Chains A and B, each alone.
Chain A
Amino acid sequence: MDFDLNDDQRLLKDSVERLITDKYGFDQRRANMAAPGGWSRTMWAQFAELGLLGLPFAEEHGGFGGGPVEAMIVAEAFGRGLVLEPYLATVILGGGLIRRAGDAATQASLLPQIASGELLLAFAHVEPQSRYELHNVATIARQDGARWRLEGDKGVVLHGDCANKILVTARTAGSTRDRTGIGLFLVDVPGEGVSVRGYPTQDGLRAAEVSLAGATGIPLGDPANALPAIERVVDEALAFLAAEAVGVMAAMHASTVDYMKQRKQFGRAIGDFQALQHRAVDMLVLLEQARSMALLATMMVAEDDPVERHKVAAAAKVQIGRSGRKLGQEAVQLHGGIGVTMEYMVGHYFKRMSMIEILFGDADTHLAQLAEGSGVLEAA
């Protein structure tokens, strides 16, 4: 086993971290958030220049053939910076779905456009009744001559308000919670029968409500059985989010320890109080447990066996959800009053962490599913 990065990976880590340090400070982030659309096109162009937007794609598609470790490196740095740009939506989810479900021609036409920064994507799967179930799909796709028409409502579509194309789950057969009969459709925005209502999310990122009223959709892969590809990409997104969460948690922890060393009350640094030192140590344990599960998820995400792969991705989500919540609450608490204000970074980390907890299923949801199975340990 080797936990060390290779030379290329180290180079990637250095350059992404430098970008975040130089260009993603507190004030810069606030300025990015105030830009039209809630994020910075200039940053996006820099991501493209650094090759980040094509990172997971094959070279023939304008990419760098990066794997899970490369994605993890980017995610962790983005977590530290609380990056606002639609990387998860466009590259990991959108790009992932095109790679896993799209045919060769679609890949050849769309992936290079993602890599160059021209094409923005979003993945619309949540519905008012679906909660966290990917296969809970009431949106309908009907064949109408050579075209498919979509009817239904999608909610909390990450970065749905900037996407040029939205990837929509829709039912071609069966009833709302069937695992089969689900297709994935590419919908152009703007387009007839598509309405998109964008809004900020609690962490300062963006999402949208998307209504489809007879909108035209182009099927990506098998319109009757897209779920396996979707689940694979969502596992990749879970691994990405786990690494991003580690970045968020590490930054919150470092900020807390720093603050404890600086903040003086009762004539001494509050970090001198052993009761508080122990709290900071418990946070460290939470962080390292989360980091380990994020690594495990990264290792397993390329696994072809969907059951084994998902088991670890879900377990990682449980761990980062639990670690992240407790660690975030402790970070705020140990900062005292400034922890609950917008004026200090720690609260922003706490809010992002709280949203990561929700994305693609909270800890309880994944735990309940895992508990139905035969455990998460490898057989002896």
Chain B
Amino acid sequence: MDLSFTPEERAFREEMRRFFRTEIPAEIREKAGKGEHVSKADLITTQQAMNKAGLATPHWPRAWGGRDWTPVQTYIWLDEMQTNSVPAPLAFNTSMVGPVIAEFGSEAQKQRFLPATANLDIWWCQGFSEPGAGSDLAGLRTSAVRDGDEWVVNGQKTWTTLAQHADWIFCLCRTDPNAAKKQQGISFILIDMKTPGITVRPIQTLDGGHEVNEVWFDEVRVPYENLVGEENKGWDYAKFLLGNERTGIARVGVSKARLLRLRELAKLERIGDKPLIEDRHFREKLTALEIELRALEMTQLRVVAGERDRPRGVPNPMSSILKLKGSEIQQATTELLMELVGPYAMPYHAGAEPEGDNDPQSIGPEYAAEAAPTYFNWRKISIYGGSNEIQRNILAKAILGF
């Protein structure tokens, strides 16, 4: 057992750090670090810079821009990205649809989509969830019926993140309503968002932002060739997709950056006659959270190291611990920021809406503006991507054998 990083790994970390700190505009990292809204243009700039350096899709197959890194390298890459507050490449592109197309898509689909997906020339959104199919995703009802060389799609997706920016959507559609098991009649279909019959309706989140949408399909005609892989095998591809990139899920680096920032901000806030950082109780809470995070980081490294010996695309059930604890810690950092800010967490900054160009009016200290919106918004982290309850169910079955 050797728990330290090798000299090569340390050098690799240096290289990553240098890249992220020099090649990604400081202004974007600063915004992201403060929890301010990062615009579509910022995300594109960031991902294109990373892609140019071969750093947007290191986990893809080599032929399509992958790097054949060890799991530890991938971990270091992600950790440096997160701790330096670099917005991650769009997950829908690089973690979800890209790997699925690379693994199961036709040659024509690979040529057409993969380079553009890596470079964020195409913005993808994920059309899985429906009003009646959340945790029970296999209960989805949006249908695709074959008509000659086309699919005719009808139904409704919901919670579709950033569909308002998207050029394409990858959808799970029911193609065999009579299959013996509901998981068996589902196909994975790529749909151009400009196709007639698609309507996008915004859903406002609690912080006032617009990041999720309903997407309606009314007699939407899609070329048959936009099917990925085989008909009625979509559930397998979805499982592959969800099993990919499980280690990033804990977002340890994000929490690390937030906790470091909390410590700095606590020097600026005053409680009674002293800075908040000198308040024993606050410091203990902050420190306790740091301990939890160190532990999670080690757990994450254990999962990463174990990945070498696991078949690809089969998630390690331990990654459910990463999701569960990782979301609890992220949410706890937002609570601590609320407590740090105090009364000035109350003003609602009308200008803070995503894509809004108007400056938030400055009321109270600058860092106070994001406290409540982030606290409210980040309740989502324990709901999406398999809720914490679903993660517990997985752990109960897969690890405890109940």
User: B401 contacts the other chain (Cβ, under 8 Å)?
Assistant: no
A54 contacts chain B at the CB level, 8 A cutoff: no
Within 8 Å of chain A (Cβ to Cβ): is B265? Answer: no
Residues of A within 8 A of B345 (CB): 202, 358
The stretch from A112-120, A223-231, A329-337 touching chain B is A329-337
Interface pair A337/B350, CB less than 8 Å apart: no
With both chains docked as a complex, state the minimum distance between the C-beta of A29 and any C-beta of chain B, in angstroms: 15
Chain A's interface size range is 35 or more
- B270 touching A350 by the CB < 8 A rule? no
Query: B346 and A207: CB pair below 8 A?
Result: yes
User: How far does the alpha carbon of A332 sit from the alpha carbon of B134 in the complex, in Å?
Assistant: 15
B347, A156: Cβ atoms closer than 8 Å = yes
Cα A1 to Cα B103 in complex, Å, equals 72
Stretch in A58-66, A123-131, A166-174, A302-310 touching the partner: A123-131
Cβ B346 vs Cβ A265 within 8 A: no
Complex: A329 Cα to B81 Cα, angstroms: 29
Given the complex of chains A and B, what is the CA–CA distance between A155 and B365 in angstroms?
Answer: 11
* Cα of A198 to Cα of B382 in the assembled complex, Å: 34
B392 near A275: Cβ-Cβ < 8 Å: yes
Cα distance A264–B338 in the bound complex, in angstroms: 34
CA A358 to CA B341, docked complex, whole Å: 10
Among B208, B342, B384, B388, chain A packs the most CB atoms within 10 A around the CB of B342
Pick from B129, B282, B379: contact of A339, CB below 8 A: B379
Whether A341 touches B203, Cβ cut-off 8 Å, given contacts A156-B343, A202-B345, A265-B139, is yes
**A126–B343 touching, CB < 8 Å:** yes
**1/0 contact trace for A341-373 toward B, CB 8 Å?**
111000100110011001000101000100000
Alpha-carbon distance A332/B381, docked complex (angstroms): 12
Flag if B379 contacts A201 (CB, 8 Å).
Answer: no
- Over the window 191-213 of chain A, the binary record of Cβ atoms lying under 8 Å from chain B Cβ atoms (1 yes, 0 no) is 00000010111101001010000
The residue on A at minimum CB distance from B137 is: A265
- A265-B139, A266-B135, A350-B376 given; A207·B347 CB < 8 A: yes
Residue of B206, B212, B361, B387 near A350 (CB, 8 A) is B206
Decide yes or no whether B204 CB sits under 8 A from chain A.
yes
Residue among B208, B379, B388 with the most chain A CB within 10 A?
A: B379
Most-contacted residue by chain A among B208, B281, B346 (CB, 10 A): B346
Chain A residues with CB under 8 A of B159: 337
- Shortest C-beta distance, A54 to chain B (Å), equals 28
Contact residues in B for A133 (Cβ distance below 8 Å): 272
Kindly state whether residue A31 has any CB partner on chain B within 8 Å.
no
* B348 interface hit (Cβ, 8 Å): yes
Q: Which residues of B contact A156 (CB under 8 A)?
A: 343-344, 346-347, 364
Across the interface, A200 reaches (CB within 8 A) one of B212, B271, B348, namely: B348
The answer to whether B344 touches A129, judged by C-beta atoms less than 8 angstroms apart, is no
Q: Whose C-beta in chain B lies nearest to the C-beta of A128?
A: B364
In the complex, chain A residues whose CB is within 8 Å of the CB of B383: 333, 336-337, 339-340
Cα(A336)–Cα(B273), bound, Å: 43
Q: Is the CB of A131 within 8 A of B347?
A: no
By a CB distance below 8 angstroms, the chain A residues around B205 are 340-342
Q: Evaluate whether A202 and B272 lie within 8 angstroms (CB atoms) in the complex, with A132-B343, A341-B204, A343-B203 already known.
A: no
Provide the residues of chain A in CB contact with B375, threshold 8 Å. Answer: 354
Q: B271 → chain A, closest Cβ, in Å?
A: 6
Interface mask (B189-215 → A, CB under 8 Å = 1, otherwise 0): 000000000000001111010001000
Extra contacts besides A273-B389, A342-B204, A354-B376 (5): CB < 8 Å: A131-B271, A132-B342, A266-B139, A336-B383, A340-B383
What residues of chain A have their CB less than 8 Å away from a CB belonging to chain B? 126, 128-129, 131-133, 136, 155-156, 177, 197, 199-202, 204, 207, 209, 264-267, 273, 275-276, 325, 329, 332-333, 336-337, 339-343, 347, 350-351, 354-355, 358, 362, 364, 368
The 7 tightest CB contacts between A and B, nearest first, are A265-B136, A342-B204, A200-B348, A202-B372, A347-B206, A201-B346, A156-B343
Q: List 12 A-B contacts (CB under 8 A).
A: A129-B270, A131-B270, A156-B343, A201-B347, A202-B346, A204-B348, A265-B134, A265-B139, A266-B136, A337-B134, A342-B208, A354-B375
